[in-house]
Amino acid sequence: MNLFFEQYRYKFFKKKKNEIFTILEIGIGNDSPYKFRKLFRNSIYHGIDKNLDYNISENSIRVIDKFFPKDLETDLLEDVPNEYYDYIIIAHVIEHLANGEEVLGHLIKKMKKDALMYIEYPSERSKYFPSMKGTLNFFDDPTHKRFYSFSELTNLFLNKNLEILRSGVKRDFWRIFALPLTILISFFRFGYIRGSVFWDLLGFSEYFLVRK
């Protein structure tokens, strides 16, 4: 379904569409590299993930300029260049980590001055949502390890002297408007209605856009 709708995280970077810039994405499954490169053709794309096995096509692998195979709970990021990236994305990753704050601290070192970072993660309210295949309740995904509160992440970024440009509950109103279409797409593509199609309507995720 992400082929039909631009990712919310890209909406803040329209001014960079025709510029050459460096991007580091943490968690590159679901063909993220290919989707990103279709919009930002001049970017230098680096990615971090455990491997290239999670729903990633040859089209995505071909457009990755540099891949760092990392287990973020155990591996250091010393070979990832410091003060190099204009844009870092870490969306729906920290909830799979016990040490998300530590990882974010390491990633901040990789940002250039004035660089932007987009962080997205399940909200604590999601533990009260109905359970659905494709994840609507936080505990639907057995690989989720912990919640990160809005206040603790706010304090983390402020303590690291980052400017919080945008933050709050993530709601893509175009996706909410198009919900009947995404329900149909989910049903015909997967054979069932995925819980994720209701994320924006119910406010499953929170996000931060921060600047160094």
DSSP string covering the chain: -TTTS--GGGGGGGGGTTS--EEEEE--TTTHHHHHHHH-TT-EEEEEES-S-SS--HHHHHH-SEEEE--TTT---TTSPTT-EEEEEEES-GGG-S-HHHHHHHHHTTEEEEEEEEEEEE-GGGGGSPP-TT-SSGGGSTT------HHHHHHHHHHTT-EEEEEEE---HHHHHTHHHHHHHHHHHHSS--GGGGHHHHT-EEEEEEE-
Share of the chain above pLDDT 90, in %: 79
pLDDT digits (tens, 9 = 90+) for 26-70: 999 888 999 888 888 888 999 999 998 888 899 999 999 999 999
User: Is the pLDDT reported for residue 196 higher than 70?
Assistant: yes
Domain ranges of the chain: 8-211
Q: What is the mean pLDDT of the chain?
A: 92
pTM of structure: 0.93
Report the pLDDT averaged over residues 135-164.
97
| pLDDT at position 2 | 46
Q: 1-10, 45-54, 122-131: which has the highest mean pLDDT?
A: 122-131
Q: What fold does the segment set 8-211 form as a domain? A: Rossmann fold (3.40.50)
